[in-house]
Amino acid sequence: MPFEAQPHDLLVPFTGDFRIDHVDTHPPKDIPGKNHLRERLAALADELNELQRRFYARDQRALLLIFQAMDAAGKDSTIRAVMTGIDPAGCYVHGFKQPREDELQHDFLWRTTLRLPSKGMIGIFNRSYYEEVLVVRVHPEYLKAQRLPETKTSDAFWEQRLESIRDHEHHLARNGTVILKFWLNVSREEQRQRFISRLEEADKHWKFKEQDVEESKHWHKYMQAYEAALNATSRPWAPWYAIPADDKPYMRVCVAEIIVDTLKRMNLDYPELDAETRKRFKALERQLKEETNK
């Protein structure tokens, strides 16, 4: 039985009626101040650290966290802030950029499948196979490099890709992978201000890419692609969360709370030893103590 999400204010509906123009990019007006949000995030990081240790020790499920967003929404900094203190032995991040030639020799899910987390691990995808129904949908000319038998970009073509993603995630969920998907919903104006900041501040120049400005000109097409993808693929076993991203401290707390709440519902106790193993361990304990006293 796949592990299913609980209803949440930030949960994209499973009924296929999600509308991007109905969700906010900014937080509620009554949220606490930044200092309180930072303190809350630190407390959540401590909780997450302990929960991740138990998750790793139980070694029964995998946790896949997928982050998608427009440029400058804060994916990198959110992952870094939320996962601070996590044992790196049980967690890893993989960013998916333009496919390499060897990756283009396979189906569009192949390269991400290679990076899926094993049981006990938390795997984080900074971008993912969703690029194939977002960037590629906005730029269908990219399909030429994939050398598909059929590259006509009809509605049916994209529905087939979305169906493949649904089936893929359902298969993963049935086999023990818990999937949480975060769409960091930044406004176009906030993105513009962040681009300006990257140009004004020398220590942020490395973040700026001219191509990002060009991509922002396709904003409306991207929003249509996101709306279609989220509606088609948000399911109880692989939910999408639309996170307001204009305020970074609030955004990070939202992401951390969802991850912590999900892990808490798994009732993660450390594995208990059977009677025979406890007996052997007790004998070894006595043996080691006796050696110390010699």
Residue 3 lies in a domain: no
**The pLDDT value given to residue 15:** 80
Q: Confidence band (pLDDT; 50, 70, 90) for 151?
A: low
Residue 30 falls inside a structural domain? yes
**pLDDT of 9 over the 90 cut:** no
24-33, 216-225, 243-252, range with the lowest pLDDT: 24-33
> Shortest CA distance to 44 belongs to which of 266, 259, 270, 262?
259
Indicate the helix (H) or strand (E) that contains 152.
none
The answer to whether 111 and 96 are in contact (CB under 8 A) is: yes
What residues make up the domain containing 107? 20-293
Whether 8 maps to a domain, the answer reads: no
CATH of the domain at 273: 3.40.50.300
For residues 170 and 76, what is the distance between their CA atoms, to the nearest angstrom? 27
9 within domain boundaries: no
Report how many domains make up the chain.
1
Report the distance separating Cα 35 and Cα 72, nearest Å: 23
pLDDT digits over 39-51, tens only? 999 999 999 999 9
Which pLDDT belongs to residue 167? 98
Chain mean pLDDT for the chain: 94
In a domain, 6, yes or no: no
- Each as own residue / partner, the long-range contacts of residues 109-118 (CB below 8 Å, 24 or more positions apart, any chain) are 109/164, 109/165, 109/168, 113/168, 116/62, 116/64, 116/172, 116/177, 117/62, 117/63, 117/64, 117/92, 117/177, 118/62
> Is pLDDT of 176 > 80?
yes
Phi/psi at 172 (5° precision): -60, -45
Do the domain assignments include residue 1? no
Examine the pLDDT at 294 and tell me if it is beyond 70. Answer: no
- Joined tokens for residue 274: 């059977």
Higher pLDDT, 22 or 294: 22
Residue 69 confidence (pLDDT) = 98
Kindly tell me if the per-residue pLDDT of 1 is higher than 80.
no
Residue 28 belongs to a domain: yes
Q: What confidence category does residue 168 fall into, taking pLDDT thresholds of 50, 70 and 90?
A: very high
Rounded Cα distance between 210 and 206, Å, is: 11
Rounded to an integer, the average pLDDT of 252-261 is 97
**84-142 pLDDT, tens per residue?**
989 999 999 999 999 999 999 999 999 999 999 999 999 999 999 999 999 999 999 99
* pLDDT over 80 at 152, yes or no: no
Is 59 domain-assigned?
A: yes
**Phi and psi torsions of 92, nearest 5°:** -150, 155
pLDDT tens-place string over residues 196-240: 999 998 888 988 888 889 999 999 999 999 999 999 999 999 999
So what's the pLDDT on residue 8?
A: 82
